[in-house]
Amino acid sequence: MSQVITIGEPLVVLASTEIDVPLEDVTNFNRYLAGSELNVAVGLSRLNHSVQFITKVGTDPFGKFIKKELKKNNIGIDYVYYDDKHCTGHQIKELVSKGDPFVFNYRSNSAASFIDSAVLDDIDLSETKIAHLTGIFPAISSSAYDTYIELINILKRKNIIITFDPNLRPALWKSKEEMVNTLNYIASKCDIILPGINEGKILVGNTNPEVISDFYLKNPHTRAVVTKLGPDGAYIKQKNKHGFKIDGFKSHVKDTVGAGDGFALGFISGLLENLPFEEAVRRGNAVGAMQVQTYGDNDGYPTPSELNEFIKKQHISI
């Protein structure tokens, strides 16, 4: 039982410790967990919210490492299943002094891609308030997609709020058209959509946050759209209300990986704590700004005291 549930593919990252060295020349790596949905779970747990994670991992050392790390991060593993026929997804990642690092994936036919809807048979949602989904997991296989859609149907029957971050990964899809059509279909079933401004250009054909918002708000299930504007903050529009912008926070950018997930977890934590909608968005901006100041995928996600101190230093109250 948990306040939040999510489904995704956890990855083990072997991250270079040698700055600006091509991966083929790197000899030293650090190992840690990654994956968009897992990042959100880690950050929510760090902010003292209970989370369950649905997935499959291999019985290989990486799969066992993931289970241990999830437990260490106080993330529920009731629905983390072993697959003794397929390996755990992993990736290697550059360390760069500027820009986005190059990442190479080893995730084809991973254990998570062989998940099936049977894993949902015994799921306990009695205390779940929010389910967080992204556009990554349904792209990894047809069985992952089917399981994902079945989970959405279960969540809708139980009136659980669904937040959806499109989180575009074009390399995982057969075509751009399939990606756009599938993700917009999924978005039509969700309550709160969290696109990035550049994702709007691909999914909606426009970078105007008002246009992006109106595109999704025409869906009967969608209550609100929060468009992430990077360092400029976020644009909010709720159904039957005027849209407006919430300014971002100042930060020294080291690595943008995990910033969008940071926004999502900050925002979701605000909803769980019954903050006003715009204050939840402002908290999302804060966590995203904290994450870009670190090199890891989720190293910058704060504890409650760290988050409050960061906000306090910038003279913005939450």
| Residues counted in the chain | 318
Would you say 4 and 268 are in contact if contact means Cβ atoms under 8 Å apart?
A: yes
Burial of 28 (0-12, 13-18, 19+ CB in 10 A): exposed
Q: Count Cα neighbours of 63 within 13 Å in the Cβ-side half-sphere.
A: 19
What pLDDT is stored for residue 317 in this prediction?
47
At residue 168, φ and ψ (nearest 5 deg) are: -60, 130
Burial of 184 (0-12, 13-18, 19+ CB in 10 A): middle
What pLDDT is stored for residue 52 in this prediction?
98
Which residues of the chain have a pLDDT value below 70?
A: 255, 296, 315-318
Burial of 250 (0-12, 13-18, 19+ CB in 10 A): exposed
What pLDDT is stored for residue 266 in this prediction?
97
Q: How many helices (H) and strands (E) does the chain have?
A: 9, 13
Q: How many other C-beta atoms lie within 10 A of the C-beta of residue 74?
A: 15
Tell the residue number behind the tokens 């410790």, with chain if given.
17
Average pLDDT of the chain to the nearest whole number: 93
Superfamily of segment(s) 4-313: Ribokinase (3.40.1190.20)
Question: Is there a catalytic annotation at residue 146?
Answer: no
Would you say 29 and 12 are in contact if contact means Cβ atoms under 8 Å apart?
A: no
What pLDDT is stored for residue 199 in this prediction?
96
Q: Return the closest-CA partner of residue 116 out of 85, 151, 92.
A: 151
pLDDT digits (tens, 9 = 90+) for 225-265: 999 998 899 999 999 999 999 998 887 777 677 788 999 99
Catalytic site residue from 165, 191, 255, 261: 261
What pLDDT is stored for residue 219 in this prediction?
95
What pLDDT is stored for residue 315 in this prediction?
61
Tell the residue number behind the tokens 């704590």, with chain if given.
273
pTM of the model: 0.93
